[in-house]
Amino acid sequence: MAITRRQFCLKMGTGVAASVFVPNLIKRGWTKPPPDSKPYIREAHYYAPLADRKVRCLLCPRTCLVADGKRGYCRVRENQKGSYKTLVYGRLCSINNDPIEKKPLFHFLPGTMALSVATAGCNLKCKFCQNWNISQVAPEDIPFEYYSPERLVNLAQQIKSPTIAFTYTEPTISTEYIVDTAQLARAKGIHSVMISNGYINSEPLGNLCKVLSAIKIDFKAFSNDFYRNVTDGTLQPVLDTMIQIKKSNVWLEIVNLVIPTQNDAPTQFRQMSQWILQNLGSDVPVHFTRFHPLYLMENLPPTPLRTLESAYEIARECGLQFVYVGNVPGHAAENTYCPHCNRKIIERVGYQIRTLAIKNGKCQFCQTNIPGFWS
């Protein structure tokens, strides 16, 4: 009998429900800077000053109009006398060294680790969020530790992580920190990746694409009604984001969390797959992932395995070459197969790589190019 990814991780003692702080990475646990020192407050980018000390945020499609003394929708940007401030520059609420497969990124340095960090807040309100305890709060409501870009990059070097991942909550809201850190990391030979909902405007996304090596987009559903009713967002900006990422040549992977009765109709799988094929190409990895009851959707059951397999089959029928079933460790569709010879070229069990038959970006059996970021 196949076990769920959650059961696998609990058995292995790693956990998946929330981001995890690893005490050995920081000697004395969470600390706060002195009260008179707030290095995590910086002037935000991407805003327009308006009359009466108001500002218009230009970071994400919400374009919040923020009065003096108030904050934007994400809770982490504040208008201070007409100057818009980010409150989470390096204000990390979670840090862990994860397998890159946990993101999941399957075609990006498989079998390696990623130093994974998050700040509080989010610009969506997904009713199924697995990290709601850090994404749906204000930054002052949870413990944190300040990490300058230099300190974070030094930590990645110290623990020999080839990648820094901005994840767990929504990285868009800490764009300034990501850009500064990723620039420094790249100069040190360290990659940076972002795990995002894709709800971001074109200019900040363009600046991120200049410094990131990969982006994984959580594609919630091919339905504007779903985005509006379940995430408090809209679909079109996410479609625009994925097209821009693909054009920028940053490595892109997509995850669709399949939620029973919400976004699991075969017609929706087909429409999503056809859109991906037509706009992004056949070689973008797409992960259909099992839902587990969480947060405001505890009344729903886990996704039936047959539903995930149906999504997989439909996507393959539509012409997508790299389709995966997620959160079902040990399932055959967790592996990567060569699109030419159909041989298994990456074997996975949970977050572990059992075999890797890709050399110099090619299938070792037939020498077909396998799209991805392999070194």
pLDDT score of 3: 38
Q: How are the residues of the chain apportioned to helix, strand and coil, as percentages rounded to the nearest 5?
A: 30, 25, 45
Q: State the chain's maximal CA–CA distance in angstroms.
A: 67
Find out whether 153 and 181 touch, Cβ atoms under 8 Å: yes
The torsion angles phi and psi of 336, rounded to 5 degrees, stand at: -105, 135
Predicted TM-score of the model (pTM)? 0.91
Residue ranges of the domains in the chain? 5-29+89-308, 42-86
> DSSP letters along 154-199, please?
HHHHHTT-SEEEE-SS-GGGGHHHHHHHHHHHHHTT-EEEEEE---
pLDDT score of 375: 87
Is the pLDDT reported for residue 2 higher than 60? no
What percent of the chain clears pLDDT 90, i.e. is strictly above it? 90
Instruction: Determine the residue type at 78.
Output: E
Residue-wise pLDDT for 48-78, tens only, equals 999 999 999 999 999 999 999 999 999 999 9
Mean pLDDT, range 123-148, rounded to an integer? 96
Whole-angstrom CA distances from 324 to 144, 320, 352 are 35, 10, 15
Q: How far apart are CA 233 and CA 228, in angstroms?
A: 5
Find out whether 102 and 9 touch, Cβ atoms under 8 Å: no
Which residue, 130, 104, 134, 105, is CA-closest to 117? 134
pLDDT score of 16: 34
DSSP code of residue 72: -
Pick the CATH number of 5-29+89-308 from 3.40.640.10, 3.20.20.70, 1.10.357.10, 3.10.20.30: 3.20.20.70
Q: What is the mean pLDDT of the chain?
A: 92
Pairing of strands 336-337, 323-326: unpaired
Q: Among 29-43, 120-134, 302-316, whose mean pLDDT is lowest? A: 29-43
Residue-wise pLDDT for 78-110, tens only, equals 999 999 999 999 999 999 999 999 999 999 999
Residue-wise pLDDT for 3-42, tens only, equals 344 443 433 333 333 333 343 343 334 555 555 679 999 9
pLDDT score of 32: 55
Residue-wise pLDDT for 159-197, tens only, equals 999 999 999 999 999 999 999 999 999 999 999 999 999
